Amino acid sequence: MVCKLFAVVLMGILAGVWAADKYTDKYDNIDIDEILTNERLYKKYFDCIQGIGKCTPDGIELKEKIPEALKTECAKCNEKQKAGVEKVMRYLITKKPEDFKILEDKFDPEGVYRKKYEAQRKLVEEGKPVEY
**What is the pLDDT, as a whole number, of residue 16?**
45
- Look up the CATH number of domain 3-125: 1.10.2080.10
CA-to-CA distance for 110 and 28, rounded, in angstroms?
Answer: 32
pTM over 0.85: no
Alpha-helical (H) ranges within the chain are: 3-9, 11-15, 32-37, 39-50, 57-72, 79-95, 97-107, 112-116, 118-125
Domain ranges of the chain: 3-125
Please state which of the ranges 16-25, 43-52, 120-129 shows the lowest mean pLDDT.
16-25
pLDDT greater at residue 99 or residue 20: 99
Question: CA 108 to CA 116: how far, in whole Å?
Answer: 11
**Among 53-67, 84-98, 102-116, which stretch is predicted with the lowest mean pLDDT?**
53-67
Structural contact between residues 10 and 74, judged by C-beta atoms closer than 8 angstroms:
no
Say how many Å lie between the first and final Cα of the chain, rounded. Answer: 16
